[in-house]
Amino acid sequence: MKIEDDTMRKLLEYPWYGNVRELENTVEFMVNMMEYGIINDKALPINIKKKNKTYIKNDKIRTLKEIEQEEIEKAIEFYGNTTEGKAEAANALGIGIATLYRKLK
């Protein structure tokens, strides 16, 4: 298995808001997505491809509710919009599945 230099640079520059758990899940995702034993940009999750998002939008600080909603959406995008994906997203976010569904409404 090999990681292309540009892909490694993106991984090193990413802020890893979810710390070790997010890193672990990302590596697992990339290993599953790699082709021919090479991890490249195609295997990167969308949140890393889009570049590091800032929490400031339109020169104002966003509310915690807005940030929370974005993180929930990122987790569902990463794990999938299925029942199983939502369960994994809830686990990665450190909340129960019922809480996740309530926050999605």
- What does each of the 105 residues of the chain score in pLDDT, given as a tens digit? 898 998 888 888 888 777 788 888 888 888 988 889 889 888 888 878 776 454 444 456 778 888 899 899 999 989 999 999 999 999 999 999 999 999 998
Tell me, yes or no, if the pTM score tops 0.75.
Answer: no
* Distance of alpha carbon 43 from alpha carbon 24, whole angstroms: 14
For residues 60 and 38, state if they share a domain.
no
Cβ neighbours of residue 103 under 8 Å, at least 6 residues apart? Answer: 68, 69, 72, 95
pLDDT at residue 52 in the model: 46
Whichever domain contains 16, its CATH number is 1.10.8.60
Do 48 and 61 fall into the same domain?
Answer: no
Degrees to nearest 5, angle at CA 99 with 78 and 93: 40
Please choose, from the candidates 59, 89, 92, the residue with its C-alpha nearest in 3D space to the C-alpha of residue 76: 89
Instruction: Spell out the residues 6+ positions from residue 83 whose beta carbon is closer than 8 angstroms to its own.
Output: none
pLDDT in tens, 19-31: 788 888 888 888 9
pLDDT of residue 57: 46
- The helix or strand, by DSSP H or E, that contains position 89, with its residue range, turns out to be helix 83-93
Per the structure, how many domains does the chain have?
2
Same domain, 13 and 59: no
Residues 6 or more apart from 38 whose CB is under 8 A from it? 1, 2, 3, 4
Provide the pLDDT for residue 51: 61
Domain boundary among 36, 53, 70: 53
